[in-house]
Amino acid sequence: MKQYLDFTDQVVLVTGARSGIGQATAVAFAGQGAKVIVSGRRPCDETLEQIKEVGGEGECIICDVSNEDEVKALIDAIIAKYGKLDVAVNSAGVNSVKKPIEEQDMENYDRVNNTDARGLFMCMMYEARAMLPAGKGAIVNIASVAGLIADPLMSPYVGAKHAVVGMTKAAGIELAQKGIRVNGICPGFVDTEMTQAWSKDPEAKARVAGYNMQKRPAVASEIATVALFLGSDMASFMNGAVLPVEAGQTAH
């Protein structure tokens, strides 16, 4: 019987893998036999240590996804060493300064969108080029529940994540007949390094967690398992899908 979550001999890239969802996702794929390339703006030593602990194989390539030259170099390095790219999980992202729109500025807008939207687009573009010769592959984009609904005081972030949802759908239908599946995940509030400003404030944490029906934040591994599913052959008939993983936040 086929083991759908066996990624032995597959090459998997995870961006934004230094911490949080990206880190948990990299470890999850490594635990299923994948050769995992983890990427971030800074070294991913902790992630590599966790990969080693589950008996996996990984390496880190530094990359700022808002820089096209670095994105191209990242993909070129993977192809040069491994000759292929089977799965890519685009998890790199930054949060927005919380301000009313009339108090926002273009520096914050550009900082968020250059990574969360433009950076993800460039990653997909080069990942798709790397997968096309083999005629197969899976790309998983980490968006946010803010790509489906709106959070107040975070218009640059909401706009960027809506863009991720749209680009995921567009790329999903464009690449379907070329053997490449593109799907996305819209997590709700996840307790990670990026959300520490809320997590360390009991009132803010309770308020944000209260948006969902389980009344708690997710842990990163709960998002990673969905990425594992979308990267696997279990999701072989999924193209351009965006899955809310938010304990019912958008269902009511």
The residues annotated as belonging to the active site are 157
Angle, vertex CA 96, rays to CA 230 and CA 245, nearest 5? 25
Q: Which two tokens stand for residue 11?
A: 């090459």
CA dist 188 and 144 (Å) reads 6
**Burial of 236 (C-beta count, 10 Å sphere; 0-12/13-18/19+):** exposed
Q: Which two tokens stand for residue 194?
A: 């990026």
> E strands within the chain?
11-15, 35-40, 57-62, 87-90, 137-142, 180-187, 242-245
Cα dihedral: 183, 126, 60, 231 (round 10) = 20
Q: Which two tokens stand for residue 181?
A: 């599946």
Coil vs helix vs strand at 158: helix
Q: Which two tokens stand for residue 142?
A: 């980490």
Coil vs helix vs strand at 105: coil
CA dist 73 and 193 (Å) reads 27
At which residue do the structure tokens 């170099």 appear?
Answer: 73
CA dist 174 and 166 (Å) reads 12
